[in-house]
Amino acid sequence: MEDLIFIKNTTWPEVFEGWQDREAKDPGWIECATKIKDWSDWESWRKYTATQLRADNREWKIYKITDANKV
C-alpha cells in the first residue's frame, strides 16, 4: 500500500509507553478505568487489556499513513 509507509519496528513496552502518555493522565480515560470499568487505576485496566490481547507476544511496527481516506 503506497499510503502506508513503514517507519520502524518497535516493542510492546514502547507501544504501552505511548498509550500511557496519551491516556494515563486524561480525566476521561481515568474515569473510564475507575468508574465505568471499576479498576483501581488506568494502568491496571490497560495492563489487563494488554494481557488479554497477548500484546507482549506480538510484533509491533510503526507506519506513517499518508492518506487516511485510502487506508
Residue 16 lies in a domain: yes
pLDDT value at residue 37 = 96
Q: Is residue 71 part of a domain?
A: no
pLDDT digits (tens, 9 = 90+) for 30-71: 999 999 999 999 999 999 999 999 999 999 999 999 988 887
Residue 52 lies in a domain: yes
Q: Exposure pattern of 5-38 as b/e (b: 16+ CB <10 Å)? A: eeeeeeeeeebbeebeeebeeeeebbeebeeeee
Query: For residue 56, what are the domain limits?
Result: 4-65
Domain presence at residue 15: yes
How many separate domains does the chain show?
Answer: 1
35 in any annotated domain: yes
Domain for residue 70, yes or no?
Answer: no
Which pLDDT score is estimated for 31?
97
Asked if residue 60 is part of any domain, the answer here is yes
With cell 493522565, the residue in question is 25
Residue 22 in this model has a pLDDT that exceeds 90: yes
Return the pLDDT at 6. 95
